[in-house]
A and B are shown apart, each in its own frame.
Chain A
Amino acid sequence: MTGAQIADRAARQAVIPKATGADRAFAGFFRLLMYGAIGVSLLALLTLLYDVARDGVPSLSWDFLTSFPSRIIPESSGIQSALYGTLFLMVVCATIVVPLGIATAIYLEEYADRTKWWNRLVEVNIQNLAAVPSVVYGILGLAFIVRGPLSLGRTVLAGGITLALLVLPVVIIVAREAIRAVPPSIREGSLALGATQWQTIWKQVLPGSIAGIATGVILALSRAIGETAPLLVIGAAVNPRFNPDGLGSAFTALPIQIFTWTQDPNREFVDLAAATIVVMMVLLLLMNSVAIFLRNRYEQKW
């Protein structure tokens, strides 16, 4: 083929076809659609935040955080007992969920023989439990923990256990992911040096996955903090003018306080609910920031 022939052929049939106007328009349209989708969700979030902040921020003050709720006088009402209640619940919940969740994840990832049906059954059940509505956990808590076999009453301990059961599947799933991210070659390397299986888990697998596990635990706790339904079902206290003083104490929590105040016919109490929501949002934001920080700072890259 001579140079002239090649040039001639190129002129008749371009090797790389030029993009048509229709292609560009189509791509542009889709891009707009994506921006639109993000815009809608951001707008919804901002509207919500603005609405809550407008109603709630004026009521925020140190006194609001440190006073007990009142049934009658909105001005002197506060959320001290709710803050303490949430704190107590979270401590109980974390104490139960961290060892139980990590141990279950270790069993399923490191010990369980997946060819055995009972191990597969456990796996499938945990995934299903993660999708069970939280009110069902409330009913379970009421029937088995508050009354029934455990009969703990409407206490901090009962509430904490119920929330722990609620987020346990999430913690297990996240911890398993983190453990699975540790490459098998690390386990082999450790075992080949004469480490036992437990030494391998304790000194290689867990240190390699702890950042992921911690992130998961915090995210699970921040889900537990906002749960209202199960605590309502098991019977949290309404407007208590006392802080919980132990595991056997009655309690309320931030979402319960919000729920109580939004039900109130007095408009000023509804504004207090908005203020409580602001407090809870700040708390959630802080927890999620810690989770993101942990992940970025300590996550092991393999």
Chain B
Amino acid sequence: MSRSGDRPLAENVTDQRRQDKDAAAVPATEAAATAPASAPVERDVIFDVDDINVFYGEHKAIRDVTLDFHVNEITALIGPSGCGKSTFIRCLNRMNDLIPSARVDGKIIYHGEDLYASDIDPVQVRKRIGMVFQKPNPFPKSIYDNIAFGPRVMGTKGDMDEIVEQALRRGALWDEVKDRLKTNAFGMSGGQQQRLCIARALATEPDVLLMDEPCSALDPISTGRIEDLMTELKQNYSIVIVTHNMQQAARVSDMTAFFTVELHDEGKSRTGAIVEYGGTDKIFTNPDDKRTEDYVTGKFG
């Protein structure tokens, strides 16, 4: 009797708390919107990017990028085509190393270590920092083997079935595919394939997830599911996302960096540079820079 009486009481308390939190949230957002861009001080930093310049041969692709990414936040990189967003995100897990002519100058501090220090092995970097690409790229193998590939190449010991299930659950895919783990991943829909790629990246236990326009090949419903998933994942991961979709950046991200493209030599040469970086609310409602405002309101780009 007393037990059953306690329960509604406890629920009332939680409800009360929730309301308090909601009430507190409103001024907090307003405060964030009006605070200067230099506000992020106390939060833990996952990437401390210091003056990154990327060259393809002689050509400077992006210049002087300096910003901090925070733990358990989603940071969106937006900007017009050719402004170097993708080039930049690929610096964060050293994927640019794969392009023979590419050269990266500057420092990216991750857990106290410079990712571009000469004694850092890019393969080890990529094991810690997962990446999801623009077009879903499942391997031509079973769903199970797609997930297990990462842990296997890392030589992970332990129950592979368990690892696969965990990863698929985190990728919000388990219920849809648990009865057909051994079927080829090419038979899945585009949205499922992309969630498989996310789950696959999570299977290697990274702490950061880089997403390079992960929804650009997907329909709105699949996009919505992936955005929900991202919001869930940020409890445990830090996420960096490149997106062309302004609403998407506004919906999911905590911080937004706006890149632009600078033309040199009468338009023959293009260099990407960062214009403004700050809380997403501020970037979208009250940006400091005229170029940011023009872009987010759709006047340019």
Binding site for B on A (CB under 8 A): 113, 115, 183, 185-186, 188-196, 199, 203-204, 207-208, 300-302
Contacts and interface: CB of A to CB of B under 8 A. Distances in A.
A302 B140 CA distance: 8
B149 A192 contact: no
Contacts of B128: 194
Contacts of B127: 193-194
Given A188-B98, A188-B137, A194-B123, A203 B201 contact: no
Nearest to B135: A185
Report whether over half of chain A's contact residues are helix, strand or loop; otherwise say mixed.
Answer: helix
B126 A193 contact: yes
B137 A185 contact: yes
B239 to A, nearest CB: 15
A201 to B, nearest CB: 12
B124 A193 contact: no
Contact of A192 (B95, B100, B138, B140): B95
B204 A193 contact: yes
A190 B93 CA distance: 13
A203 B100 contact: no
A112 to B, nearest CB: 10
Given A115-B100, A185-B133, A208-B140, A194 B204 contact: yes
A193 B133 contact: no
A193 B153 contact: yes
B147 to A, nearest CB: 10
Given A194-B204, A199-B153, 12 more contacts: A183-B137, A186-B137, A189-B200, A191-B95, A191-B123, A193-B150, A194-B124, A194-B127, A194-B153, A196-B123, A196-B153, A203-B153
A194 B100 contact: no
A190 B139 contact: yes
Interface in B146-164: 149-150, 153-154
B133 A189 contact: yes
Contacts of A191: 95, 98, 123, 126
In this complex, the member of A186, A191, A193, A302 whose beta carbon has the largest number of chain B beta carbons within 10 angstroms is A193
A75 to B, nearest CB: 56
A298 B143 CA distance: 19
Contacts of B138: 189
Contacts of B186: 301
Contact of B133 (A188, A196, A207, A300): A188
B143 to A, nearest CB: 14
B214 interface: no
B153 A195 contact: yes
B230 to A, nearest CB: 18
B131 A192 contact: yes
A194 B123 CA distance: 5
B150 A194 contact: yes
Contacts of A185: 133, 135, 137
Give the top 5 A-B pairs by smallest Cβ distance, nearest first. A194-B127, A193-B150, A185-B137, A192-B131, A189-B137
A215 to B, nearest CB: 17
A300 B185 CA distance: 13
A189 B200 CA distance: 10
B130 interface: yes
A194 B156 CA distance: 12
A214 to B, nearest CB: 16
Contacts of A183: 137
A44 to B, nearest CB: 42
Contacts of A192: 93, 95, 126, 130-131, 133, 201
Contacts of A199: 153
A183 B139 CA distance: 10
B273 interface: no
A193 B123 CA distance: 9
Contacts of A115: 100-101
B255 interface: no
A204 B139 CA distance: 8
A84 to B, nearest CB: 40
B135 to A, nearest CB: 6
A188 B149 contact: no
Contacts of A196: 123, 153
A66 B297 CA distance: 86
A300 B140 contact: yes
Contacts of B150: 193-195
A189 B139 contact: yes
Contacts of A113: 100
A153 B123 CA distance: 50
Nearest to B57: A115
A110 to B, nearest CB: 11
Nearest to B132: A192
Contacts of A195: 123, 149-150, 153
Contact of A194 (B98, B139, B140, B154): B154
B261 interface: no
20 contacts: A115-B101, A183-B137, A186-B137, A189-B200, A191-B123, A192-B95, A192-B130, A192-B131, A192-B201, A193-B126, A193-B130, A194-B150, A194-B153, A194-B154, A195-B149, A195-B150, A196-B123, A196-B153, A204-B139, A300-B140
